[in-house]
Amino acid sequence: MPILDPKERATTATNFLAIPLRAQQRVCGALLLTRSGEPFPARELRLLRIYCNQAAVALGNAIVYERVENLAATDALTGLFNRRYLDGALERELARAGRSESSLALLLLDIDHFKSFNDNYGHALGDRGLKKVATTLSDRLRQTDVLARFGGEEFVVVLPQVTAAAALDSAEHIHASVGQTKIHAVGERTHVTVSIGLAMFPDQSDTPESLLDAADQALYHAKKLDRNRVCRFVQVEAET
């Protein structure tokens, strides 16, 4: 008889008890008990039912809270983390990098000429383009990386524990991957490109605000160079 896992089986117990945990008319779990010897007496069953009722309410509340937290931290269109989550995640990652004395990269991405794309193809295809870019970015990142929609057509990628050279390689790979992503319009296929600004912690900045500002300056420099490219903050410093 499977209990929690197909590999786990009740081989010695002579009594098996399963009590569902119901919250808001839905089963959200179960209490599973086994016992050798005498069956479960009525008094214990009454106590277990009381316990299960209380546990179900607590579990139901936890599930609702988790859903609300996920909604508050997630961008509705792309399913990525939103700006609110990014602010907290960036602080945590910088603190972790400081403790471990490791470097961290931040990429600020902007879809090139996105307003013109919307004007030419409509907002429905524009939304599809945002989703496509979000999926492409997600597929190219590690589990430890943080990806968020920064707002509008901008995205942020946080790359913990990377060197400046590795961060640049990742940025170039992301840039190329997005440029190769096809978006199906009516009767044709099109694509978008991105400009990327790259900044490093602790080389260029040591706070979330200054790191974002450095990446934004690098992104602005990429746009000045006719977009569709990756620029590092060090390039901005060298040319100003």
Q: What string of DSSP letters covers 206-232?
A: SSHHHHHHHHHHHHHHHHHTTSSSEEE
> CB under 8 Å to 214, separation ≥6 — which residues?
106, 197, 199, 204, 205, 233
User: Which amino acid belongs to residue 226?
Assistant: D
> CB under 8 Å to 148, separation ≥6 — which residues?
75, 80, 81, 82, 83, 85, 86, 89, 155, 156
Q: Is 153 a catalytic residue?
A: yes
Beta strand 194-201 with 230-232 is: parallel
Residue in 44, 93, 153, 237 annotated catalytic: 153
* Structure-block tokens of residue 177: 């991957």
CA atoms within 13 A on the CB side of 174: 34
What is the largest distance, in Å, between two alpha-carbon atoms of the chain?
83
Q: Three-state DSSP class for 103?
A: coil
Kindly list the catalytic residues: 153
